[in-house]
């Protein structure tokens, strides 16, 4: 029996994998089985033309991917000995070497290369070296350097290996790339250089190395931003100082008339950054395109520390709020829906942000009496139903046959949990009715549970796809909403036990624990303990931060507040909750968004989904959704 053929055709598997990953360029490859679109993208970058890859193509390819995901060296060796193809491709064009390089499996890399793996295999996502750079894997990159790979390879959005390495921030890897003559001033399709990526992420050592290698300090992107503007916006003081020391224009203006000082006053309450910019010659009287100076912008956002730094002899302790919760929700809801519509109009893809968290937020708004736009909801409902029905035959067969289960799209890189949880959670929030298709998806998700009771991911993309607590919580909710008794029996109890005992490392973990325990019907002792842990993380400004060394932001704050009320039963009138609400109200932009700096590995090629904040638009979209949900609780 041909299990692969029985499960679903290679063409359909490729299409489904592309649809689920939420990436425009891969969806285009999927639908263009003739390879025309793939070849056009490759030729755009001067690369050799190849046919579009087929999902799971290559002898024992899917088994090799699964063995790598399970970190099973002996399994990989056995499969290669049986004639397994080391150059197999999955539905996203990845080869096994991509995953081994990204996941620090140097022993597996060695076996694959020894078996004939192409060290420079190209795809829309780059090459194996790009994947090593994405996770800062200097050891894996060194192996690839020894094979003479192209250090200046670029993917279809123009992002280079050096840009990816500068984003991930490993100085040793950046140094090695520079030694191998990586181009320091190359620009991607948005006009960003490696220095832009390093500055945005606050990697001061990498910034210093790039400056020493002759990178242009005042390079300008398509939005007229410079590295200094990027660093100032997110409060990376050390990077700000390094750039100014190399002569960066401290009064440069972006397309919206914002200078580094104006951005710092608007988006982070860092007196150190303000102090450094003023010392470097920043014009404190400069105004934005609406005529607002630095004090006015700081006042609008309630950035008290900045105001106190700039206003000699004046101490401000509290700011007035420009919107109430309902007004803030209305402004954000309009923008979120618009972006969801834009995303859907530009691509047929289904994503974990627009169709997952976005549908959770808009579904909650609908339950609170807000009206949703049919132009957004109807096409989105159609896409979701289409995905469910397309996957239904495969899911139903996978539940009967373990060999078919191996053909579920993206299971080979452990992406079933990260996608299906958000898809089903969004459906639940929108009151999507239970049917055979949603049940089969939930039951396949149930089978992905780890032995310890959790649901995990293999390649984290922080913060939305980084925490097993989040995916365990979402999985519980999805199984409760759509799973069958046969598949869910005992799983929720095991998940609850894991959630109660596993050590939480950050704000995302603690919020996920809180929600998961609630949805798993945990006892009051565990719930109170989880709520206390979240409360302990609240900052003096009223917000929460994703990590201890970061500034407070809307993502962590909205998520923490939502978890406290939804999971912990903390009243919205509670003093801590109200401090969080005030933080959200004063940090919201006039357009209804909240800015959240991107932390995720830029695994997907950049795609403009119609939300503000450029490359940080998806993290800002997610943060805005959590913030909106927290504010909706107060209504």
Structure confidence by residue, pLDDT tens digits, 210-254? 999 999 999 999 999 999 999 999 999 999 999 999 999 999 999
Distance CA 350, CA 567 (A): 28
pLDDT at 272 over 50: yes
User: What confidence tier does 621 reach under pLDDT thresholds 50, 70, 90?
Assistant: very high
User: What confidence tier does 316 reach under pLDDT thresholds 50, 70, 90?
Assistant: low
Q: What is the pLDDT of residue 320?
A: 62
**Which of 389-414 are b and which e, b meaning 16 or more Cβ less than 10 Å from the residue's Cβ?**
ebbbebbbbbbeeeebbbbbbbbbbb
3-class SS at 525?
helix
Q: What is the pLDDT of residue 305?
A: 82
Per-residue H/E/C for 471-513: HHHHHHHHHHHHCCHHHHCCHHHHHHHHHHHCCCCCHHHHHHH
| Chain segment 435-475, per-residue pLDDT in tens | 999 999 999 999 999 999 999 999 899 999 999 999 999 99
Instruction: Kindly state the tokens that stand for 214.
Output: 């002759």
State the chain's mean pLDDT as an integer. Answer: 90
Task: Tell me the mean pLDDT in the region 410-418.
Answer: 95
pLDDT at 33 over 60: no
Distance CA 8, CA 52 (A): 18
pLDDT at 73 over 50: yes
Q: Which domains does the chain have, with CATH numbers?
A: 13-153 (1.25.40.20), 184-320 (1.25.40.20), 325-633 (1.50.10)
Please tell me whether the overall predicted TM-score, pTM, comes out greater than 0.85 for this model. Answer: yes
51 and 35 in contact (C-beta within 8 Å)?
yes
Tell me the torsion sign for CA atoms 604, 609, 613, 617.
Answer: negative
DSSP states along 75-131: HHHHHHHTT--TT-B-TTS--HHHHHHHTT-HHHHHHHHHTT--TT--BTTB-HHHH
Task: Tell me the mean pLDDT in the region 354-368.
Answer: 96
Q: Which positions ≥6 away from 55 have C-beta within 8 Å?
A: 10, 13, 14, 17, 89, 90, 91, 409
pLDDT at 30 over 70: no
Q: How far is CA 473 from CA 357, 496, 556, 606, in A?
A: 14, 9, 16, 29
Task: Tell me the mean pLDDT in the region 110-115.
Answer: 98
349 and 609 in contact (C-beta within 8 Å)?
no
User: What confidence tier does 335 reach under pLDDT thresholds 50, 70, 90?
Assistant: very high
Half-sphere exposure of 465 (CA within 13 A, CB side): 24
Q: Which positions ≥6 away from 198 have C-beta within 8 Å?
A: 166, 167, 169, 206, 207, 210, 227, 239
| Chain segment 158-216, per-residue pLDDT in tens | 999 999 999 999 999 999 999 999 999 999 999 999 999 999 999 999 999 999 999 99
Tell me the torsion sign for CA atoms 243, 249, 251, 253.
Answer: negative
Distance CA 354, CA 421 (A): 13
User: What confidence tier does 11 reach under pLDDT thresholds 50, 70, 90?
Assistant: very low
């Amino acid at each position: 029996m041909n299990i692969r053929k029985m499960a679903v055709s290679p063409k359909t598997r490729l299409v489904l994998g592309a649809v689920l990953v939420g990436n425009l360029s891969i969806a285009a490859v999927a639908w263009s089985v003739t390879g025309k679109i793939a070849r056009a993208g490759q030729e755009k970058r001067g690369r050799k033309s190849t046919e579009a890859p087929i999902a799971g193509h290559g002898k024992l390819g899917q088994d090799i991917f699964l063995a790598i995901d399970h970190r099973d060296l002996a399994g990989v060796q056995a499969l290669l000995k049986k004639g397994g193809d080391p150059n197999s491709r999955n539905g996203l064009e990845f080869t096994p070497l991509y995953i081994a390089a990204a996941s620090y499996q140097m022993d597996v890399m060695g076996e694959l290369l020894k078996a004939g793996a192409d060290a420079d295999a190209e795809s829309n996502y780059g090459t194996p070296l790009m994947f090593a750079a994405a996770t800062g894997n200097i050891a894996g990159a060194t192996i690839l350097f020894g094979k003479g790979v192209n250090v200046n390879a670029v993917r279809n959005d123009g992002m280079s290996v050096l840009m990816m390495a500068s984003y991930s921030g490993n100085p040793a890897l950046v140094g090695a790339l520079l030694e191998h003559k990586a181009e320091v001033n190359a620009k991607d399709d948005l006009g960003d250089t490696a220095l832009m990526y390093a500055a945005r992420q606050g990697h001061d050592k990498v910034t210093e190395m790039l400056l020493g290698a002759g990178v242009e300090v005042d390079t300008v992107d398509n939005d007229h931003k410079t590295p200094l503007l990027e660093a100032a916006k997110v409060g990376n003081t050390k990077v700000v100082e390094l750039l100014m020391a190399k002569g960066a224009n401290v009064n440069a203006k972006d397309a919206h008339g914002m200078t580094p000082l104006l951005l710092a006053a608007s988006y982070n309450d860092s007196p150190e950054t303000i102090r450094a910019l003023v010392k470097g010659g920043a014009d404190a009287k400069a105004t934005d395109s609406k005529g607002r100076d630095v004090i006015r912008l700081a006042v609008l956002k309630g950035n008290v520390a900045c105001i106190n730094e700039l206003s000699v002899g004046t101490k401000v302790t509290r700011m007035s709020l420009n919107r109430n919760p309902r007004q803030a929700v209305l402004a954000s809801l309009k923008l979120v829906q618009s972006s969801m519509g834009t995303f859907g109009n530009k691509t047929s893809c289904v994503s974990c942000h627009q169709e997952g968290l976005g549908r959770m937020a808009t579904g909650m708004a609908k339950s609170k009496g807000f009206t949703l736009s049919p132009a957004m909801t109807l096409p989105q409902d159609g896409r979701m139903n289409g995905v469910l029905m397309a996957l239904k035959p495969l899911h139903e067969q996978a539940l009967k046959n373990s060999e078919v289960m191996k053909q579920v799209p993206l299971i080979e890189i452990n992406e079933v949990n990260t996608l299906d949880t958000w898809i089903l959670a969004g459906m639940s929030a929108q009151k999507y009715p239970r049917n055979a298709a949603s049940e089969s998806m939930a039951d396949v998700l149930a089978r992905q549970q780890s032995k310890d009771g959790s649901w995990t991911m293999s390649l984290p993309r922080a913060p939305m796809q980084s925490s097993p607590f989040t995916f365990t919580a979402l999985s519980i909710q999805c199984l409760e909403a759509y799973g069958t008794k046969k598949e869910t029996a005992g799983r929720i109890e095991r998940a609850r036990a894991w959630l109660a005992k596993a050590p939480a490392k950050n704000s995302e973990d603690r919020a996920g624990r809180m929600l998961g325990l609630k949805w798993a019907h945990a006892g009051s002792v565990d719930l109170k303990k989880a709520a206390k842990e979240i409360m302990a993380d609240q900052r003096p400004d009223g917000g929460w931060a994703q990590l201890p060394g970061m500034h407070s932001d809307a993502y962590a704050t909205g998520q923490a507040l939502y978890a406290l009320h939804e999971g912990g039963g903390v009243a919205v009138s509670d003093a801590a909750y109200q401090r969080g609400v005030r933080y959200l109200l004063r940090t919201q932009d006039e357009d209804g968004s909240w800015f959240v700096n991107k932390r995720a590995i830029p695994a997907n090629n950049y795609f403009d989904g119609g939300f503000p904040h450029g490359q940080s638009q998806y993290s800002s979209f997610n943060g805005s959704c959590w913030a909106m949900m927290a504010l909706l609780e107060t209504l």
